[in-house]
Amino acid sequence: MDTIIQGKAYVLGKNIDTDQIIPAEHLVYSLSDPEEVKLYGKYALSGVPPEQGGLPEGNIPFVGEGSFRSDYTVIVAGPNFGCGSSREHAPFALQVAGAKAIIAESYARIFYRNCVDGGFVIPYETSQPLTDAIKTGDELKIDIEANTVTNLTTAIAYTLSPLGDVFSIVQAGGIFAYARQENLMAKS
């Protein structure tokens, strides 16, 4: 995985829960059938109320009609992202849809852990609210080594909280792959 992530922003509000990230009715698809896995991407963030999806305008779908992948690579959200149930499918659905990173003011702990443990998406935290500074569709560039995000649309950079080992774990493909890679457990 490259240490630069560049792509369009998708902005959400606060308290986005796991049922909004992947609604329960879409948890029926097989995780081992490639055709069914694509449906997790198709329905990622489909439970977000229209007025909260794609802020500040609202009513912008994360995944376009008839598509399985999103045009948006970076999700920018307010506090308490991923609250609700401990649904492991939520960060998986975002990854399948093409999201590479989330920048939120805070996360529900279990969602954060699921992002990292499964190696799905990079969960960045920011101490400053970015949902008013960044708009859906703005082009962003995250520099993982510098812990910054630059809004290329406005040419303004923001500092992100350091990831620590999180990037290495996500890059390895999850906590078990990382542990094997670092010789922390027996290789299988």
Give phi and psi for 111, each to the nearest 5: -65, -45
* pLDDT value, residue 2: 85
Q: Are 81 and 108 in contact (CB under 8 A)?
A: yes
Q: Is the pLDDT of residue 15 over 80?
A: yes
Tell me the pLDDT of the chain averaged across its residues.
95
pLDDT, one tens digit per residue, over 96-147 is 999 999 999 999 999 999 999 999 999 999 999 999 999 999 999 999 999 9
Instruction: Dump the DSSP string for 107-127.
Output: B-HHHHHHHHHTT--EEEE-S
Give phi and psi for 19, each to the nearest 5: -75, -25
> 145: which 2 tokens?
């080594």
Q: Is the pLDDT of residue 4 over 80?
A: yes
Report CA 26 to chain centroid distance, whole Å: 18
Q: What is the rounded distance in angstroms from the CA atom of residue 108 to the CA atom of residue 88?
A: 12
Q: Is the pLDDT of residue 188 over 70?
A: no
8 contacts: CB under 8 Å, gap ≥ 6: 71, 72, 73, 74, 136, 137, 138, 139, 140
Give phi and psi for 146, each to the nearest 5: -90, -10
Domains and CATH numbers, the chain: 4-162 (3.20.19.10)
The pLDDT > 90 percentage for the chain reads 89
Q: Are 102 and 152 in contact (CB under 8 A)?
A: no
Q: What is the rounded distance in angstroms from the CA atom of residue 91 to the CA atom of residue 41?
A: 10
Residue 85 pLDDT class (50, 70, 90 cuts): confident
pLDDT, one tens digit per residue, over 139-185 is 999 999 999 999 999 999 999 999 999 999 999 999 999 999 898 87
Task: Work out the number of other CB atoms within 10 angstroms of the CB of residue 13.
Answer: 18
